[in-house]
Amino acid sequence: MNQKVLLTSKEINIILHRLACQLIETHLDFSNTVLIGLQPRGIFLAERLTKILREDYKVKNIKLGFLDITFYRDDFRRGEKTLQANTTEIDFLVEDKNVVFIDDVLYTGRSIRAALTAIQSFGRPSNIELLTLIDRRFSRHLPIQPNYRGRQVDAINEEKVKVMWKENDGKDIVYLVNK
């Protein structure tokens, strides 16, 4: 197994600030916008972006929630193992809100399809956008594209994109791993 660095910590930091600015450009004061980090890996990106928006760009009143999509996936009983759920934490209404889904890697688009169904259990959003750190081009199974992307990469199916976060994995770095 060999791996090459796709993004360094410094590059990640620059991208996060750009994504934060792009979000502000569209959502201004976030008064009618909610951020939803997708479990399990999207929550680190969502938390980091929220921190940057609050501390560096002084945006107040950001609502951040976490959505678990396990029970909405389309591969139940198709793999070897039981799919294990994670915590959903959405303590606000999404009815008529602008929802921004946040995930680390966009690959087949199936997780986002599940998230689109799952969020309906919490109300009918005014619209839904998607932000991802890594967009794996040419690998989509569904017609889903991000509104905000950190970096677009061309990776073949045998390769895996591994996003690591300081809070969880000790350092910020993105690898392209050859399985």
Partner 1 sequence: MSELSVNHLLGIKYLNKKDIELIFETADHFKEVINRSIKKVPTLRDTTIANIFFESSTRTKLSFELAEKRLSADVINFSASQSSVKKGETLIDTVNNILSMKVDMVVMRHPNPGAGIFLSKHVKASIINAGDGAHEHPTQALLDSYSIRERLGEVTGKNVVIVGDILHSRVALSNIFALKKQGAQVKVCGPKTLIPKYIESLGVSVETNLKKALEWCDVANMLRVQNERMDISYFPSTREYTQQFGVNKKLLDSLDKQIVIMHPGPINRGVEITSDVADSNQSIILEQVENGVAIRMAVIYLLASKIK
Which stretches of the chain bind partner 1, using CB under 8 A?
68, 70-72, 76-77, 81-88, 117, 120-123
**CB nearer partner 1, residue 29 or residue 74:** 74
Distance CA 149, CA 135 (A): 6
Distance CA 169, CA 179 (A): 20
Contact criterion met (CB below 8 Å) for 56 and 20: yes
Full strand arrangement of the beta sheet holding 2-7:
2-7, 173-178, 159-164
The CA dihedral of 42, 45, 50, 52, to the nearest 10 degrees, is -170
Distance of closest approach, residue 84 Cβ to partner 1, in angstroms: 5
Distance of closest approach, residue 99 Cβ to partner 1, in angstroms: 16
Distance CA 169, CA 149 (A): 22
Contact criterion met (CB below 8 Å) for 118 and 101: no
Distance CA 14, CA 69 (A): 29
**CB nearer partner 1, residue 73 or residue 162:** 73
Distance of closest approach, residue 161 Cβ to partner 1, in angstroms: 23
**CB nearer partner 1, residue 61 or residue 84:** 84
**CB nearer partner 1, residue 5 or residue 83:** 83
Pair of tokens at residue 108 = 């087949």
Distance of closest approach, residue 89 Cβ to partner 1, in angstroms: 8
**CB nearer partner 1, residue 61 or residue 82:** 82
Distance of closest approach, residue 13 Cβ to partner 1, in angstroms: 34
Pair of tokens at residue 23 = 């979000």
